[in-house]
Every structure is written in C-alpha cells, then in structure tokens.
Structure 1
Amino acid sequence: MATEALPGVSLTFEPRGSDEEPLRTDVAAFLGRFRRGPVGTPVRVESWRDVLGAFGAPDGGSASPYAVRGFFENGGRTAWLLRVAGEGATARTGWSVGEAGGFGATRYEVVATSPGSWANGGRLTVRYRSSTLAGRPEVDVRVTVPGEPPESFPGLAPDALVAGVAGSRLIRLVADGPAPPPRGPGPITRSWELTLAGGEDAPPGRADYHTAMVRQAELPEPALVALPDLGTDLTGPDHEETVRGVLETVRPLLDRLVVLDVPPGLASVDKAVAFAGSLTAPGDDTAATTAAVYHPPLLVPEGTGARTVPASGHVLGVIARLDAERGAHHTPANAVILEAVDLAVAFPPAQQVRLMDAGIDLLRCTRGRGLTVWGGRTLSPVPRVRHVAHRRLLHLLVRAIRRVADPLVFEVNSPELRLTLVRSLTSVLLAAFRAGALAGDRPEQAFRVVCDDSNNPPGQDPATTVCEVEVAPAVPMEFIRLRLVLGADRGLEVIEA
C-alpha cells in the first residue's frame, strides 16, 4: 500500500494483482518444500517478493525456493506454489494477561501461522498501557522470528487483539480463556516477553505428494508443473511410483507439461538413462508425452559461493519467457538461461548422446553464449508427439476449446449449436494459424473442424454433440487430432485421437 497525505486530502492506493487466466500457457505450479507457509494449499504469486512474503526466504534446506526464484529470474510472471510436508508440529506458547484490564480473554495462545521448526525461538513482545491520550488502554505488539523481517502492531485495543494481529505473516492469537471479570484499577503498564517453541518439520511422503498433485490438477491456470524436491524426498520405488502417479494425474487434462529433474542419487549417466526409461509403462507411451526431463542441475550464486539446484525452475522460466515473446508453439531450445553460473556436471560428447537418446533434454554451456537450453522433447518415443512445442500447442488449443465450448454444454444438439461450435473453434484456430503455429499457406490446409451429420448421425442422443478437430502444426511437429464430446450429463470431454 502506498499512501500520500496532504492537508485535508488522503490518497490510498491498493495494488491489484492480475486475475486468473486459464487460457495462459506460461503459468507454472511448483510442488515442494518451503521454509514456512500453508501446507497443501495453493498460493498464487506474481513475483519473488510475493514468494518471500508467503513462504519465507530460502534456508538451504530445500530446492523449491531456489527453483521458484530461478523461474522469476528467467522471465516467469505467475506461479502457483504448494508446500508439501508431512504432519509436522506447529510452534506455540501460552500467554496469561493477569490483572491487566480491557482484554477480551484472560489467556491467549500464540501460534505460528504454519507448521515446522521455522518459528522456534520466535519472540512476541507485548507492551500494555492502561491509559493513553485517547483515554483507553492500548497494546503494542512486536513479532521477531529468526530469518524473518520483524513485524510491529502498535496501538491495538486490548479487546480486539486477535483481529489486530490477524494480518501477521508469522503468528496468530487464539483466545484460550473466558473474558476477564470486572476488576478495579490494574497495573498502569506491563510487558510480556513470549517465546515460541515446539515446532517440528516432517518430511513429505508419497501420500503428501499425491494430495498436492490432485490439488494442483484442480487449478485451471497452471500449464507447467515442477517438483524440485521430489528426487530428494523420495527414492527408489516410492519415487518411481510417485512420478508415475503425477503423469497419470496430468495425462487426461491435456493442458499442462510436467518438467522433471533427474534425482540426485541417479546422477550417473547409466542411472539417469534407466530413470528416463522407467517412466513409460510397457505398451503405454501416452503418459510420457506429458513429461520432459532436463539435466544436469545448475550452479547458482549464493553468498560468496554457489549452490547446486535442479534445472526445472530455471527451465520453466525460460519456457514462460519464450511463451510471452513468441507463443506456446515455439520450441524452448537454444534459449539462454539467466541467473546461473555453470552446470553442476559437464558430460563428454559420448555421454551426451546417450542421455539425449534416452529422451533427456540437456543444458549446455558454450563459449560466448553461456548457459542454454539444448533440448525440447518429451519422454515419448513416438516421433509425432515427441516435441515439447507439439504438446504445448495442443495444451493451448485444449484450453481455448474449453473456453468456447464449456458454455454450450447444456445446449441441445441442433444445427444451430453445431454452427456455433464450428464458428467458435474456427476463430481459435485462425488465431493460431495467423501466429505461425500451424502449417500450410491457407487456413484450410492448416486445420479442419467437422461437426455435422457425419459424426452426429440422425437418431443420436440429442443431449450429446460430437465435434472433431484436425490441426497441422508447423514443422517439425505432426498432425494433431482432437475429438470433442459435449453432453449435459458428462460436461465437455476432450480426447486426443
């Protein structure tokens, strides 16, 4: 908030964040460990300052804060963060007000805003004055937690103390006793020094990541997903099954890409190749189209030295930057990575070939250009759906199709509905054609929308409408085929043919 005061004039400006835009394809979701913040609750942030306010500064204990910082430093504009954690304890302490008058309760409990050890040792300083120039008692509250900017709440009414500190990012007050009885004159001033304790961190498990992933899938806005701490939190079969679960959750949505990191324990070339190969179930390559793996990790500045961080956050920032500059249909390759100083590991050419053949996208450091993204493929071995640009164009089209088709779900199948649907989808595809995302010299060479008697024969359920969309993306991508089914009892279903 910015305030400017002149005699007789007071101007207050409230900053307004941007509204959610499900059609965007540059919004990322990060699932991982943070120093503090709500567990399992999605929080939308639009800057690194927002991250610091909601989740605190990086403390070196997890990779996710550094990945999110890399996202914003590389051009990302909006992200959803989900803190993943086990059932940890929340720091707290009790406070008895004694004979001080005017309070709403005889006792309060001071509780940290979120679980974890981050608030242990935090101090709450309370100063009470029974009489002031305003003629009423007042309380000043100051909150100091290690690693956090201090907070001050001066001049609060004692009986409104709980509401007065509700804006704190660090603590909450909970009335823990009855209202005090009427008393005679109490102390003129009094001070309390309270210390928070008992907070405990709990590492996340498979169930915690599954819950976070389901909640992420319920968000319409994210189009990019990263899990920077997953390879550290879970190992072996737990890690492999969790990644499979992530891909299975994302696959039916057809509107987002998961960017994975090679787990730290699998950094050797042989283990990294085996990791990439394990992510596709035998005979089922569709889940692999939803994911891309980027390797190796990066070195980023920290203090007087450097820290190793997973590449996913920086790569998502690059993808978001290119999305804003060129569009979702451009391959995120040969683009410069910002705010990183080197690769954590340098592979010789023969090992680079092995990693690329396994579907792992590499980062490289070249003289004169610095760090760049070198690959733009998903894990799918199928050539026609392998490219990241292919998938992200599909994601954009699915999002646009949902926007125009969702309002028509409860309409009865009729020539008027079909015409409306064809016109709406054609306008979306024309915009993609004019942006250079589709092949061909003319629109009719680039796409086709069919919604007539050929796929809606007489006698079909009038509550169901079928529409088929065929799109020819620009090279090196191949044909995209989508089937839309609208039904009052099933909503809108988009199927990749």
Structure 2
Amino acid sequence: MAAEPLPGVTLTFEPRGSGEEPLRTDVAVLLGRLRRGPVGTPVRVESWRETVAAFGQPDGSSATPYALRGFFENGGRTAWVVRLAGPATAAEARWTVGELSGFAHQRYRVVASGPGPWANGGRVFLRYQASTVAGPPTVTVRVRVPGEPVETFAGLPPADVVTGLAASRLIRLIPDGPPPPPGRPGPLTASWELTLDGGTESAPGRAEYADAITTQAGLPEPALVAVPDLGTDLTGAVHTQTVADLLGSARELLDRLVVLDVPPGVSAVDDTLAWVGALTASGDADLLGAAAVYHPPLVTPDGPDTRPVPASGHVLGVIARLDAERGAHHTPANAVILEAVDLATTYPEPQEARLFDAGVNLLRCTRGRGLTVWGGRTLSAPLRDSRTRFIAHRRLLHLLVRAVRRAASPLVFDINSPELRLALVRAVTSVLLAAHRAGALAGSRPEESFRVICDETNNPPEQEPALTVCEIDVAPAAPMEFIHIRLILGADRGLEVIEA
C-alpha cells in the first residue's frame, strides 16, 4: 500500500529556459576553438558559468572563449557552442586492476573527456577498499587537472566504476581487458596514481569549418552566428571561400545573421578595405545581406592584464540584449558595449568614413558613454539594395520566417483545398498581427502593414493538389521597404520559404 503524502507545501524548481525555442531571435551560435570539450558536437549553454563547466577557462590560445564571455556579459542569455579542432588525440593513462574482486574488467583506460593537450600532466588517484563489516567493496577516485577544479568520486561500486565516472567533466573510463577470474581473494586495499599524457591538438582547417557550418545550419534555434577564430585559422582564398560558404548557408535558411570579424593583423584601412572587397566581389546582395562586419577589435580584461579580442561575441551580446528589450525589428546600434576597456585600433574620421562607405559597422569610444556600437548595416550596404542593406530589415525577416514556419509546418501534408488555404492564411495573419501590435510594421492599420494571398489567384485549379502557394507582403516600420515572402507547401518537398 502506497504511503500517503505528508501535508504541507512542496516546491519543485524547473531549470530556466531548458527547452529550445526556435521562435527566439536572440540565441547565438559560436564556432571556434576552446580549451576542452567535445569536438564538432553542439552544446547549449545559458551562462558563462555553464560555458566554463563545459569547455574550461580561457587559456589565451584562442578568441572564442573571450567572445563567449563577452556575449554573456553584454546581455546574451543562450548560446550554442561548436568546438573546432584539427586532428587531435586525448590524453590517457592505463589502469591495471588485476584480479581484485568486484571489478568487471582487469584493465581500463583512463581517457580525458575531450581531445587536446589540456589534460596532459593531470593526475588520477584511485583507492580500492575491499568488503568490510561496513559494506561491500568501494572505489574512490580523485582527479586533478591543471587549471580545473578537483573532482572526487567516493564510494563507487567496483562493478559500476565506468558509469560512476561518466559524471566527470574531465575523464572517462574505458574497459580494456577481460573480466577477472571468480573467487580469488585479493588485498584489502589498493591504491594507484596515474598521470595523463599524450593529448595533442592542431588548428582546424577548411574541412573542419565546413563541417561546423553544416552543423550550425541543422540547429533550428540560433539566429546569430559568429566565428571568432576564423581569421586566425584560415587565410587568403580559403578564408574568403569559407566565409562565402557560411553566408550561403545563412542565405538558404533565411533566419539568421552572421557577424564577421576583420582578421587579426588587418588593421590598416587599405588592408581592411581589400579584405571587404574580396568578400563583396560577387556582388550578390542576397548573400552579403546575410552578414554584418564589426570593427575594430576590443581590448578586454584577462586576469591582471588585457588582451585584444574580436568584437563579434560582444556585438552578439548587445544584439541579444536589445532584442529582449526592444525586439528584433529595431536597429542594434548606438548601444553601450560592456566587458571591454578600449578599442584595439582607433581611426581618424576620414578613415572611419571610408570604412563606413565599404559597409563596415564601426565600434567607437565616445566621451561620456564609453564604447558603443555604431552602424546597423549588412555587408551588402554598398550595393544599395533596399531589401538587404539594413540589419533591422533582415532580422525582421528572420523573425517572420521563423514564426511562419512554426505556423505552417503542421499543414505540410494536407491537400490543397479552400479549407487548407483558409487555415494557412489565419495562421500567417496571426503572426503578422502580433508583429504589427509590437510596432515592427508600418501603417496604423493591419491592412496597411501586410497582405496575405493564398487563394485561386496563386493556386489555380489546374495546379498540383499536393502543392499550396502562399504569398506575403510586409511593410516594415523602418526602413520603409516591402518584404515579399513566398511559402510553398508540398507533401513531397516539405515547407519552402522564398524571399522574392
């Protein structure tokens, strides 16, 4: 018979923001090098503390950890992180248990939880206690890795030591031998001291970045993208082509903005303009409208010293903060940058004008306000394309595309009919009405702000029954250009969103 619950109040705490929210436009994804952690696997973090727990403290070897800290310090709430590395190995040590009773295997490999040299020199202390009147055999494990908090796992059953150490952030235990013979008595206690060694890592190349670009494209939640170490890891034509691949991915998705950094070592105005010119040589406004460049780098605290850091992580935090305060349809500019003490480079006003004309958004230090973000234009600004030149315009489109996908996706497998078209119009209209009430659209009345067409004019009777077309015209509040979106639903092609 089940016991009755005691009277009183029971509090249950749910973790904040634990579920993914694809409709959000303040979530970032950063691709780059970090001290430790899984390689190529996206990890979702909601604070700087969670970031350190998953990837370790910054060690000065890469820019991505400092960019992540800048993101959270400037108001960012959620980020996905994809650690990049070239060919790498994890540090490890061999642990021979022998014929001690209770263990499932005679030998194990103690392996660092992620590849790289970060665990080299780490010490693992293990102590075995045989059965006593106090209970069955137990194993206590203590892990000391330079730069990491000490981990202790006490009272693990020998047979479950592998699963017990799965909770460690620093090591994993891998069986590497046969089971011990049964019935042989062993010593009452035994101790081991192991040293991890052999961890190596190389810088990621074009292939690793290509894989990371594909990985981030498969994440529905991020709306902001940064690659803080790209300019260090790749140079020349390989760098330019990788940026083009990333922008191509964002252009196809129509739901995220890429924030780019000028590569380290490129500080002179002529060199910066040459780098921008290489990116914009294609003249593809839709491709370039998926990105914004912010320059110069920032100087941030690093213990007792300071260090230059690419601005993208801090800018993503500012965009995320303003998104929560004002909405995605507002220009993310004229806002204060936190967790930075100076600019790495300053330019006289004539040179600032040249950078601005090339589509570079400047960071400036102004008296009385400190460091601020200036400019809210995409990389297509010099092309004068009214659809793609403003960040506010693009991010409103990203919000609408995300909302429309959520509304239309459940209808993908329905057959084209008046009922389906009416349901689609209602779903899309509810999204646009919410945007109008938030002040994102122009016009004092909804009919002045948007138009949704999904009837026989764009779905004639002779059209394939499994295909439904819905056209949406939207007038953003600022800038004053129309956004035209075309939705195509088909049972064999899913939901396709096209910007006309």
TM range (shorter): over 0.9
Task: State the 1:134 CA deviation.
Answer: 2.8
**CA deviation digits over 1:197-218, x for unaligned, max 9?**
0000111000100000101000
- State the alpha-carbon separation in 1 of the partners of residues 15 and 407 from structure 2: 31
- State the alpha-carbon separation in 2 of the partners of residues 441 and 13 from structure 1: 43
Task: State the 1:15 CA deviation.
Answer: 4.0
Structure 2: tracts of 5 or more residues without a match: 1-8
| TM alignment of 1:412-431, pairs within 5 A | 412-431=415-434
- Match of 1:286, SS state, is helix
| 1:382 alignment partner, one of 381, 384, 399 | 384
| Matched residue type, 1:329 | H
Query: Would the alpha carbon gap of residues 283 and 369 (structure 1) be closer, same or farther in structure 2, given more than 3 Å must change?
Result: closer
2:435 aligned with 1:432, yes or no? yes
- State the alpha-carbon separation in 1 of the partners of residues 211 and 433 from structure 2: 39
| TM alignment of 1:47-86, pairs within 5 A | 47-86=47-86
| TM alignment of 1:50-449, pairs within 5 A | 50-380=50-380, 381-384=383-386, 385-449=388-452
Query: Would the alpha carbon gap of residues 253 and 140 (structure 1) be closer, same or farther in structure 2, given more than 3 Å must change?
Result: same
| 1:493 alignment partner, one of 470, 493, 496 | 496
Query: Would the alpha carbon gap of residues 14 and 400 (structure 1) be closer, same or farther in structure 2, given more than 3 Å must change?
Result: closer
Q: Is the 8 A contact 2:98 2:180 kept in 1?
A: no
- State the alpha-carbon separation in 2 of the partners of residues 13 and 401 from structure 1: 32
Identical-residue share of aligned pairs (%): 70
- State the alpha-carbon separation in 2 of the partners of residues 47 and 257 from structure 1: 21
- State the alpha-carbon separation in 1 of the partners of residues 134 and 248 from structure 2: 63
- Match of 1:166, SS state, is helix
Q: Is the 8 A contact 1:390 1:477 kept in 2?
A: no
Q: Is the 8 A contact 1:44 1:79 kept in 2?
A: yes
- Structure 1 match to 2:470: 467
- State the alpha-carbon separation in 2 of the partners of residues 450 and 337 from structure 1: 43
- Match of 2:192, SS state, is strand
Q: Is the 8 A contact 1:387 1:477 kept in 2?
A: no
Task: State the 1:183 CA deviation.
Answer: 4.6
Give the TM-score of the pair, scaled to structure 2. Answer: 0.95
Task: State the 1:185 CA deviation.
Answer: 2.9
CA-based RMSD: 1.5
- State the alpha-carbon separation in 1 of the partners of residues 319 and 16 from structure 2: 26
Task: State the 1:267 CA deviation.
Answer: 1.9
| Matched residue type, 1:412 | I
- Match of 1:294, SS state, is strand
- State the alpha-carbon separation in 2 of the partners of residues 420 and 14 from structure 1: 35
| Matched residue type, 1:32 | G
| 2:454 alignment partner, one of 448, 451, 454 | 451
- State the alpha-carbon separation in 2 of the partners of residues 142 and 15 from structure 1: 29
- Structure 2 match to 1:6: none
- State the alpha-carbon separation in 2 of the partners of residues 400 and 446 from structure 1: 17
- Match of 1:485, SS state, is strand
Task: State the 1:10 CA deviation.
Answer: 11
- Structure 2 match to 1:4: none
Structure 1: tracts of 5 or more residues without a match: 1-8
Aligned residue pair count: 489
Q: Is the 8 A contact 1:299 1:342 kept in 2?
A: yes
**CA deviation digits over 1:183-231, x for unaligned, max 9?**
5432121110000100001110001000001010000000000000000
- State the alpha-carbon separation in 1 of the partners of residues 281 and 20 from structure 2: 35
| Matched residue type, 1:448 | R
| Matched residue type, 2:77 | R
- State the alpha-carbon separation in 1 of the partners of residues 405 and 64 from structure 2: 31
- Match of 1:265, SS state, is coil
Task: State the 1:266 CA deviation.
Answer: 1.9
- Match of 1:279, SS state, is helix
Q: Is the 8 A contact 1:109 1:173 kept in 2?
A: yes
- State the alpha-carbon separation in 2 of the partners of residues 51 and 283 from structure 1: 38
- State the alpha-carbon separation in 1 of the partners of residues 16 and 93 from structure 2: 36
- Structure 1 match to 2:4: none
Task: State the 1:14 CA deviation.
Answer: 7.0
Task: State the 1:382 CA deviation.
Answer: 2.9
- State the alpha-carbon separation in 1 of the partners of residues 345 and 404 from structure 2: 42
Q: Is the 8 A contact 1:465 1:485 kept in 2?
A: yes
- State the alpha-carbon separation in 2 of the partners of residues 315 and 10 from structure 1: 42
**CA deviation digits over 1:214-256, x for unaligned, max 9?**
0100000000000000000111111111111111111110000
**CA deviation digits over 1:107-163, x for unaligned, max 9?**
111111111101101111001111344331111100111111110000111111111
- State the alpha-carbon separation in 1 of the partners of residues 182 and 476 from structure 2: 77
Query: Would the alpha carbon gap of residues 477 and 235 (structure 1) be closer, same or farther in structure 2, given more than 3 Å must change?
Result: farther
